[in-house]
Structure 1
Amino acid sequence: MKVQAAIIGAGPAGLMLGHLLRAEGIDCVVLERQTGDYVLSRIRAGVLEQVTVGLMERLGLDARMKAEGLPHDGFNLADGERLIHIDIKALTGTEVMVYGQTELTRDLMEASAGRGLEVIYEAADVALHDIESDAPFVTYRKGGTQHRIDARIIVGCDGFHGPSRQAIPASAGQGYERVYPFGWLGILADVPPCNHELIYANHERGFALASMRSHTRSRYYIDVPLTEKVEDWSDERIWDELAMRLGPDAAAHIVRGPSIEKSIAPLRSFVFEPMRHGSLLLCGDAAHIVPPTGAKGLNLAASDVYYAAEALIGLFRAGDGDAVPAYSGKALSRVWKSERFSWSLTKLMHRFPGHGPFERRMQVAELDYIATSEAAQRSIAENYVGLPV
């Protein structure tokens, strides 16, 4: 098989990029190691910035998102009994959309055939070759047979552990990483949310987040030491802990119910640069990871896709030889700003092991400043809704 672009990974980033390229008549194929059902089974984020909403609108795939998604004008920071409301609509003139990543991925998957986007699932042993040349190729195995795809450009949308970033020589890039000393224990339940907006809580017992996927499905998190095991946390124990950490007002409106999913996700900040090496571009988790604080993961992948599509359309439609080399610098400028926001919000809302009274007083002072300063709230709101691309 010969295509203009081979995309590795059929998560939302890979599928979105494939749709954008096919909409411009660019020949591409998407390879995915897992089955489609497995991809849809992964529970991920649900707060969409305008860049992500805008790309779905551009592709004409926004109907279900607009019908079922929940537009949010603000969110809350809680510290003990204090609730600080950040009115993002009033401060920025825009809003975010609560719509599960699983549903967005489903919309992209179901529209693939109609746009002529070929997605090859269960592609095992994917390997990248000759990425420093203008004629790279990808090999993979499916059904016991070895296959080869020749391309002009390869785009790695295959996550933190995928083969794309590993194909870049160690001497050609650098990773920057911060691993956090806790993970997020999440519970998903078919119960109405305790608040119509998200609540990020800093409590003496630890961090908590109240969020939702719909009016009838809620997603809650608490931070726990990395030594904790999910099987040691019964539903009742999680609900009790959430009620304490979220504060009395939120606790009074928590509706308890059986979990339909529980998991512990470790937190890290990671950036690999450059995000381009030869004929290989990296998008999303293949190039960077952010803590879930602030909901930047999917949205940062979407902005990568925006820049990657811009670069490939420039190359294949306008013959712009500078478009692909410019990709990494454009993407990284936004990546580092989003990393900064997630890192700072994580520091503000979590109690870190080893931190003492001084660090706690700094958190209180920062929250006091946010509570009384429109400028501080505006800065948070601008970053939360997403910086422009």
Structure 2
Amino acid sequence: MKTQIAIVGAGPAGLLLGHLLRAEGLEVVIVERATADYVLGRIRAGVLERTTTDLMDRIGLGERMHRDGLPHGGFHLADGQRLIRIDIAALTGRQVMVYGQTELTRDLMDAAPERGLPIIYGARDVVLHDLASDAPYLTFVEDGAPRRIDAQFICGCDGFHGPSRAAIPPAAARTYEKIYPFGWLGILADVPPCDDELIYANHERGFALASMRSEKRSRYYIQVPLDQKIEDWPDDRLWDELAVRLGPEAGGRITRGPALEKSIAPLRSFVFEPMRHGRLLLAGDSAHIVPPTGAKGLNLAASDVHYLSEALTGYFRRADPDAIAGYSDRALARIWKAERFSWQLTRLMHRFPDNDAFDRRMQLADLDYIASSPAAQTTIAENYVGLPL
């Protein structure tokens, strides 16, 4: 099989990129090692920046998102006693949209056949070849048979553990990484949220987050040590802890229910640069990871896809090689700003093992300053709603 662009990974980044390129009339094939059901079963982010929603509208797939999603004009920071509202609509003139990654992925998957976007699921043992040449190609196994795709460019949208980044020689790139000494224990339940907006809480016992997927489905998280296990946290214990950490106002409004899903996710900050090696271009989690604090993961992938689709369109439609050459620097400039915001908010809202009483008072002083400073709130709002492309 031959194509102009082969995309590795059919998560939201790979699918969104595929749709943007097909809208420009480019030839694209997506290969995905998992099944379609497995991809849809991943429970991930749910807060979309305007950048992401604009891209969905641009490819004509935003109707269900606008119908079923929840526009949010603000969110809260909590210090264990009070809620500090960040009015992002008033401070920036923009909103975010709560719409689950699963639903966004479903919209992109469902529209692929009618738009001529082929997706090969169950592609095992994907290997990238001849990336430094003008004729890179992929090999993989489908239904027990070897397959090959020849392309002019390969786009790695296959996540942190995928084969794309691993195909780049270590001497050709540099990695930056910070591993956080805790994880997030999450619970998904079919209960109404405790608030109309997200709440990020800093409590002396640790961080908590009140989020939602809809008006009837809630997603909550608490900070836990890395040695904790799901079995350590029966539902009742987790609901009790959430009520304490979210504070008396929000905690008193929690509706309890059986868990649909519980999981513990470690936190890390990670950047791989450059995001291009020969004819391989990386996007999304294959090139960077942010802590979920601040909801930047999926949105950073969307901004990568915006830059990458422009680069590839410039190359194929205008014969502009500089468009490809400039992709990595354009994407990384925004990535590092988002990494800074996620790292800063994580430091502000979590308890670290080496924090002492002074560090705790500094966090509370920061929150008190934010509560009384329009300038501080504006800085947070601008970053939360998404910096300009």
- Asked if these proteins are the same fold (TM beyond 0.5), I'd say yes
* 1:279-337, Cα deviation, whole Å (9 max, x unpaired): 00000000000000000000000000000000000001111011111000000000000
Structure 2 residue matching 1:334: 3-state secondary structure: helix
Residue 341 of structure 2 corresponds to residue 341 of structure 1? yes
Residue 26 of structure 2 corresponds to residue 39 of structure 1? no
Per the alignment, residue 269 of structure 1 pairs with 269
Contact kept? 2:82, 2:249, Cα under 8 Å: no
Aligned pairs for 1:303-314 within 5 A? 303-314=303-314
How far did 1:368 drift? 1.4
TM-score (norm 1): 1.00
Structure 1 residue matching 2:180: 3-state secondary structure: strand
Aligned counterparts of 2:271 and 2:314: Cα–Cα separation in 1: 26
How far did 1:361 drift? 1.8
* 1:30-68, Cα deviation, whole Å (9 max, x unpaired): 000000000000100100000100000001000000000
**Residue type of the alignment partner of 2:30:** V
**Residue type of the alignment partner of 1:39:** V
Per the alignment, residue 255 of structure 2 pairs with 255
Structure 1 residue matching 2:3: 3-state secondary structure: coil
Aligned pairs for 1:19-168 within 5 A? 19-168=19-168
Aligned counterparts of 1:298 and 1:144: Cα–Cα separation in 2: 33
How far did 1:221 drift? 0.1
Aligned pairs for 1:145-294 within 5 A? 145-294=145-294
Aligned counterparts of 1:221 and 1:295: Cα–Cα separation in 2: 13
How far did 1:373 drift? 0.7
Q: Percent identity?
A: 71
* 1:109-129, Cα deviation, whole Å (9 max, x unpaired): 000001100000000000000
Per the alignment, residue 301 of structure 1 pairs with 301
Aligned counterparts of 2:205 and 2:358: Cα–Cα separation in 1: 17
Aligned counterparts of 1:176 and 1:230: Cα–Cα separation in 2: 30
How far did 1:134 drift? 1.2
Structure 2 residue matching 1:3: 3-state secondary structure: strand
Structure 2 residue matching 1:4: 3-state secondary structure: strand
Aligned pairs for 1:363-382 within 5 A? 363-382=363-382
Aligned counterparts of 2:143 and 2:120: Cα–Cα separation in 1: 12
Structure 1 residue matching 2:336: 3-state secondary structure: helix
Aligned counterparts of 2:313 and 2:243: Cα–Cα separation in 1: 50
How far did 1:231 drift? 1.8
How far did 1:357 drift? 1.4
Structure 2 residue matching 1:376: 3-state secondary structure: helix
- The CA RMSD measured in Å over matched residues stands at 0.5
* 1:180-238, Cα deviation, whole Å (9 max, x unpaired): 00000000000000000000000011100000000000000000000000122111111
Aligned counterparts of 1:230 and 1:76: Cα–Cα separation in 2: 27
Aligned counterparts of 2:66 and 2:266: Cα–Cα separation in 1: 32
Aligned counterparts of 2:80 and 2:141: Cα–Cα separation in 1: 54
**Residue type of the alignment partner of 2:332:** L
Aligned counterparts of 1:81 and 1:307: Cα–Cα separation in 2: 42
Per the alignment, residue 324 of structure 2 pairs with 324
Per the alignment, residue 3 of structure 1 pairs with 3
Structure 1 residue matching 2:326: 3-state secondary structure: helix
Aligned counterparts of 1:256 and 1:321: Cα–Cα separation in 2: 56
Aligned pairs, how many? Answer: 389
Runs of 4+ in 1 over 6 A off after TM superposition: none
Aligned counterparts of 2:217 and 2:368: Cα–Cα separation in 1: 32
Q: Which runs of 5+ in 1 are unaligned?
A: none
Aligned counterparts of 2:19 and 2:9: Cα–Cα separation in 1: 13
Aligned counterparts of 1:241 and 1:202: Cα–Cα separation in 2: 13
Structure 2 residue matching 1:45: 3-state secondary structure: coil
Aligned counterparts of 1:228 and 1:141: Cα–Cα separation in 2: 38
Aligned counterparts of 2:167 and 2:55: Cα–Cα separation in 1: 29
Aligned counterparts of 1:290 and 1:121: Cα–Cα separation in 2: 27
Aligned counterparts of 1:177 and 1:365: Cα–Cα separation in 2: 28
